Amino acid sequence: MARLSIVVISGLSGSGKSLALKALEDVGYFCIDNLPPALLPTFVELCNKQKGEITNIALGVDIRERIFFPELPAMLKQLNELGHSVRLLFLEAREDVLVRRFSESRRPHPLKPHLPILDGVRFEKEQLAELRGHADRVIDTSGLTAHELRDLVTRQFRPEPTRRKLTLSLLTFGFKFGVPYDIDLLFDVRFLKNPHFVPELKPLTGDNDRVRAFVLSDANANELLTRLEDLLKFLIPCYEQEPRSYLTIALGCTGGRHRSVAVAGRLHEYLSALGYEVTLHHRDINKP
Instruction: Indicate the residue type of 4.
Output: L
The per-residue pLDDT for 48 is 78
**Domain 5-157: homologous superfamily in CATH:** P-loop containing nucleotide triphosphate hydrolases (3.40.50.300)
Give the three-class secondary structure for 83.
coil
pLDDT, averaged across the chain: 87
The per-residue pLDDT for 221 is 95
- The CA distance from 245 to 156, in Å, is 9
Nearest to 8 by CA among 93, 52, 71, 51: 71
Q: Residue 239 belongs to what H/E stretch?
A: helix 219-240
Domain ranges in the chain with CATH number 3.40.50.300: 5-157
Q: Is the pTM of this model over 0.75?
A: no
The per-residue pLDDT for 244 is 65
The per-residue pLDDT for 163 is 46
Residue pair 88/8 in contact by the 8 Å Cβ criterion: yes
Give the three-class secondary structure for 137.
strand
pLDDT single digits (tens) 90-106: 999 999 999 999 888 88
The per-residue pLDDT for 162 is 43
Q: What does 203-236 look like in DSSP terms, one character per residue?
A: TS-TTSHHHHHHHHTSHHHHHHHHHHHHHHHHHH
Q: Which residues of the chain have pLDDT under 50?
A: 162-163
Q: What percent of the chain has pLDDT over 90?
A: 48
